[in-house]
Structure 1
Amino acid sequence: MSASRKTVLIILAFFAIYVIWGSTYLLNKIAVTELPPFFLASIRFVIASIIIFIIAKILKIDISITKKQLKNTAIAGFLFLTFGNGVVVWALKYVDSGLTALEISAQPLVVLILMRILQGKKIPAMSYIGVILGFIGIYLLVSQKELVSQDGQLVGMITIFICMISWAYASIFVGKANLPANFFVNTGYQMLTGGIMLGIVSLCLGETWTNPTSWTSNVQWSMLALIIFGSIIAFTAFNYLLKEVSPEKVATSTYVNPIIALILGWWVLNEHISLQSIIAAVVLLTGVYFINTKRVLKPRSIGR
């Protein structure tokens, strides 16, 4: 692949995880008002994986996989989708879509800390500022009285943070694991295994499974968009980027995701955006900037 084509693919992939994923919070929020969360997530990912494999066959892409690769895709599927996504969808029953995206904007902070713990990676001086701002932003977000006083809101936000740890660990794991070389196929197997596990969780919890023809049109359109754009396109782009750039760079999608989600949640669902949430957003995103900046704190030389 030529350098210019690779650059274009990386730019398009970043657009997908920046903008498309920003809209999935709204889409999931709409769907979860009518459908059980784990059933919703299971249907989304299983159907998306089937479509991916059909497209792969049409394009004559080899979908064979080794036992080791199947095991690794199942681990990634569980961390990313079964737990990392499925539980977030559950939390959306109690937490506004914009606030969910805003909390998840601290993802680079979690990735950085895990890379320090698991890989011994040194945290740059600028990133320490980002870590401090990140914790302050999270505190400002979850300490709001209107959130604490509402049933399920605080528990939902704590659960989302735990999901962020799962997603962050998975990001590091995927960057090093033996997975199918084709990113499209890799995505398909992660979604298939993750979706099957979500279905098992749904059945164990006794969730009611319904026929798509009985869903309202808003839920049908939301699910279609989640499958095509949020799953097939954006998640394939995400897996591609994890192999081409560092996990910290991939996590910068959190710059844009909460902004898109907050605007859509306010515009479509009339979700309230408090002043404290706006302040938390500014602090969190500033922290994310410092975590990802390459600048180094050093004395300025005389005459320069």
Structure 2
Amino acid sequence: MKPVSQRAASLLLMLAAFLWGGSVIAQKWGVTHFPPLRLALLRGVGATLCLLPFWWGSNDRRPFKRGELPLLFSLAFLSMIGNQLANYYGLRTIPASEAGIIMGSTPVLTALLSALFFREPLTRRRTAGCLLSFIGIVLVVARPPQAQAVASWRGDLFVCLGVLSWVSYTLLARSILKEHSSLALTMATFSIGTMLIVPLAIWETAPLQSVPPSAWGALTYLILFASVIAFFAWNIGLQAVGPTRASIFSNLIPVTALVLGVVLLSETISIKQLAGMGLILVSVWMVNRREGES
């Protein structure tokens, strides 16, 4: 599959970010009723089964080269364990808004590591866009600390680990995407990652309590929308625009989570949060705009 246009890539990256924004709420609700390892296993199995018919009917069923296998296993580990599982454990002890603040560091960290390890140009405009987006994230999700909502430092550490894992996945995945389609990479990521989680989930001793229909609905969302559609869209966009420009769209995740919180949980949006959302949208435009455009 050839890379899509810049505009189409931007739309796909936005779609992935919006779906992942909804997944923050779904993950928070999911870990309330499922043990983290069991939730990760169910999500991985479901996503793999959903992707299987699409992958089987595609034109890219070429086996990966032996030399690519270590990188594939690394990507699967970073995605399924380093990112998803770390977020699950983090969201058990900290509120989703606090996790969103930490996730706001994704594009800044991606741009810095891209410049450091891959010599990707870090222009003043992109630097300013990354910093502006981080300020916007803080304005959107930062709230005065409350005694009943004080997060555990371990939860913060888990989410930080999840961010670092996702940045590493985004940077390393582009070498695979030069030779294989985004569907092939997504299928390999979930199938290998699920196999890595199986032995861990078997050892998990946490009992599975009665699961309400809403929790199964959250799991369904995580499988179909946050896994299959979002990962596929993200990898297509990543293939077209590169990791630095792709990562800036991750700042739309907490914005989406905030909007869904208003719709689903009757929360209110302050002027400060509206201003933060505006800064994030401006930062997306700044980083995504081509050099030389006014």
Query: TM-score normalized by structure 2?
Result: 0.80
Output aligned runs, 1:23-172, within 5 Å.
Answer: 23-58=22-57, 62=61, 64-130=63-129, 132-133=131-132, 145-146=144-145, 150-172=149-171
Whether 1:236 aligns to 2:235 is no
Task: State the shift of 1:142 in Å.
Answer: 9.0
1: CA distance between counterparts of 2:57 and 2:194? 23
Q: 1:293–1:245: structure 2 CA closer, same or farther, 3 Å change rule?
A: closer
Q: Which of 212, 216, 219 is equivalent to 1:216?
A: 212
When structure 1 is superposed on structure 2, of 145-154 and 215-224 the one drifting more is 145-154
2: CA distance between counterparts of 1:295 and 1:37? 43
Task: State the shift of 1:60 in Å.
Answer: 7.1
Query: TM-score normalized by structure 1?
Result: 0.78
Q: Deviations over 1:222-254 (max 9, x none)?
A: 211211111111101112222222112211322
Task: State the shift of 1:295 in Å.
Answer: 6.1
Q: Deviations over 1:154-185 (max 9, x none)?
A: 54234323321221121111112477613212
Task: State the shift of 1:87 in Å.
Answer: 0.8
Task: State the shift of 1:75 in Å.
Answer: 0.9
2: CA distance between counterparts of 1:147 and 1:153? 13
Secondary structure of the residue that 1:267 maps to in structure 2? helix
When structure 1 is superposed on structure 2, of 252-261 and 234-243 the one drifting more is 252-261
Task: State the shift of 1:270 in Å.
Answer: 5.0
The aligned residue for residue 245 of structure 1 is: 241
The aligned residue for residue 225 of structure 1 is: 221
Q: Deviations over 1:7-45 (max 9, x none)?
A: 786365234313222211121122111111222122102
What is the letter of the counterpart of residue 190 of structure 2? M
When structure 1 is superposed on structure 2, of 7-16 and 71-80 the one drifting more is 7-16
What is the letter of the counterpart of residue 124 of structure 2? A
What is the letter of the counterpart of residue 263 of structure 1? V
Q: 1:120–1:209: structure 2 CA closer, same or farther, 3 Å change rule?
A: same
What is the letter of the counterpart of residue 156 of structure 2? M
Q: Which of 256, 260, 271 is equivalent to 2:256?
A: 260
Aligned partners of 2:141 and 2:273 also within 8 Å: no
Aligned partners of 2:177 and 2:239 also within 8 Å: no
Report the count of equivalent residues. Answer: 294
Query: Which ranges in structure 1 are unaligned for 5 or more consecutive residues?
Result: 297-304
What is the letter of the counterpart of residue 245 of structure 2? K
Give the structure with higher Rg (CA).
1
Q: 1:154–1:269: structure 2 CA closer, same or farther, 3 Å change rule?
A: farther
Q: 1:240–1:207: structure 2 CA closer, same or farther, 3 Å change rule?
A: farther
The aligned residue for residue 175 of structure 1 is: 174
2: CA distance between counterparts of 1:28 and 1:15? 20
Query: Which ranges in structure 2 are unaligned for 5 or more consecutive residues?
Result: none
Secondary structure of the residue that 1:239 maps to in structure 2? helix
Secondary structure of the residue that 1:120 maps to in structure 2? coil
Task: State the shift of 1:279 in Å.
Answer: 6.4
